Amino acid sequence: MTGAFSGWLEAVAGDAEVAARLSEARALDDMLRVEAAYARALGRTGQVPEALAEETAEAIAEFVPDRARLAQEAARDGMPVPPLVRQLKAALPPRLHKALHAGLTSQDVMDTGLVLALKDLLVLFEARLGGLGEQLDALEARFGAAPLMARTRMQAALPVAMRDRIALWSRPLVAQRARLDALRPRLLLLQLGGPVGTRGSFGEGADAIARTMAAELGLDAPGTAWHTDRSALAELGGWLSMVTGSLGKMGHDLALMAQQGVGTARLAGGGASSAMAHKVNPVGAEILMSLARFNAVQLSGLHLALEHEQERSGAAWTLEWLILPPMLIATGAALGRAAALLEAVEALGEGASGG
């Protein structure tokens, strides 16, 4: 749950806003939100006195972890929750421990925390997709009627209008928004299973706890834990890669259109060369291709992580942590780069780069 790219590379092919949402600080906040929601749910469902639960939740919400120590201990435990809970226990008076993590397992906290971040990021991605749709509509309005020689298999085919190619860029973005609507209810789910995922540790109140906790967090509550069924995350990965792949196609087209001799796109403000002052490189278009390939490659890793042996696989879970955040950042970066690229379009269609 952390950023992948930093410094100039983040500026080139990363996304500071997405990375911030996935930062360690925010991820720990998400985990604390989950712990607090659990404490409250214990109170509201009568497992512990409600006032005590509320007091615990507030103490959790205000807690500021010692991140250096947490990282050090996470190296041994393989994840941040055990040391985080130890820090919480040391900080909160023993009388509050009844409502603190008791019955939960690390995976409940980590997975639900991740889902909270995903919920926010999907809002961001959807908004950016919508913005791109508007930009494409505006380009169609300006340049849609311009003639364009269609090219199939890299060869001139038949004359079309520029709107025909713009439609090729719009279609998959609309489709990805529709897929997002279908994905959300499968993905934005509370994880609540307890040590071995059976909810046995919550007794008869399990369902009520789950519903209350989910409502508190703005998530849906499935009837069981999904701890070893990572398919919603694999599906999310596929969606991210479909988004970047769709934008990679658009970037590839624009890089081809901006070639001297083809000249069907004029782009403002491309990249400078350190050696050739006359060049204006279609950097944004190229980076869309890089990010598309990056996500296509990463997707394999998320699918490998489906193989969650027995009741919890540390090997598969850790792989997921390494793969998913960079994919999210790459997706944000591609959406941002695509907006800037469309903004830079000065002319489209045959002769666009002439006169």
Buried b (16+ CB within 10 A) or exposed e, 217-237: bebbbbeebbbbebebbbbbb
Residues 261-280 that bind a second copy (CB under 8 A): 261-263, 269-276, 279-280
DSSP designation for 99: G
Residue 123 vs 150, nearer CB to a second copy: 150
Distances in whole angstroms, Cα of residue 159 to Cα of each of 149, 151, 156, 261, 354: 4, 9, 9, 17, 18
Q: How far is the CB of 58 from a second copy (least distance, A)?
A: 21
CA distance 309 to 40: 32
Q: Does 114 bind a second copy (CB under 8 A)?
A: no
Q: State the minimum distance, in angstroms, from the CB of residue 51 to a second copy.
A: 25
Rule CB under 8 A: say whether 112 interacts with a second copy. no
Binding mask 146-185 for a second copy (x = CB under 8 A): ---xxxxxxxxxx-x---xx-xx--xx--xx--x--x---
Q: By CB under 8 A, tell whether 90 contacts a second copy.
A: no
Report which DSSP code applies to 273. Answer: P
300 near a second copy, rule: CB under 8 A:
yes
Kindly give the pairing relationship between strand 155-161 and strand 345-348. unpaired
DSSP 114-161: HHHHHHHHHHHHHHHHHHHHHHHHHHHHHHTTSEEEEEETTEEEEEEE
How far is it, in rounded angstroms, from Cα 171 to Cα 166? 9
CB nearer a second copy, residue 133 or residue 263: 263
Instruction: Determine if 282 is a binding residue for a second copy (CB under 8 A).
Output: yes
- CA distances to 145, 219, 258, 348 from 141, rounded to whole Å, are 8, 40, 20, 11
Choose the stretch contacting a second copy; rule: CB under 8 A; options: 138-146, 204-212, 213-221, 306-314: 306-314
Q: Site for a second copy (CB under 8 A): which residue of 61, 79, 91, 215?
A: 79
Site string for a second copy, 323-342 (x = CB under 8 A): x--x---x------------
Rule CB under 8 A: choose which of 81, 187, 192, 352 binds a second copy. 81
Residue 91 contacts a second copy per CB under 8 A? no
Q: Rule CB under 8 A: say whether 255 interacts with a second copy.
A: yes
Q: Using CB under 8 A, which residues numbered 24 to 53 contact a second copy?
A: 24
Comparing CB distances to a second copy, the nearer of 51 and 274 is 274
- Out of 42, 53, 139, 234, point to the residue binding a second copy (CB under 8 A): 234
206 makes contact with a second copy (CB under 8 A): no
Instruction: Say whether residue 11 binds a second copy (CB under 8 A).
Output: yes
Residue 192: CB atoms within 10 A of its CB come to 33
Least separation, in Å, of the C-beta of 218 and a second copy?
22
> Which residues have CB under 8 Å from 37's CB, separation 6+?
57, 213, 216, 217
What residues are labeled active site? 273, 312
What is the sign, positive or negative, of the torsion defined by CA atoms of 240, 245, 250, 251?
positive
The region that residue 149 occupies, defined by phi over 0 for left and psi between -120 and 50 for alpha, beta otherwise, is beta
Q: How many residues bind a second copy (CB under 8 A)?
A: 138
Indicate which single residue of 91, 146, 208, 319 sits in contact with a second copy (rule: CB under 8 A): 319
List residues bridging with 189 in a β-sheet.
Answer: 220
In one-letter notation, the amino acid at residue 181 is: D
51 or 153, CB closer to a second copy? 153
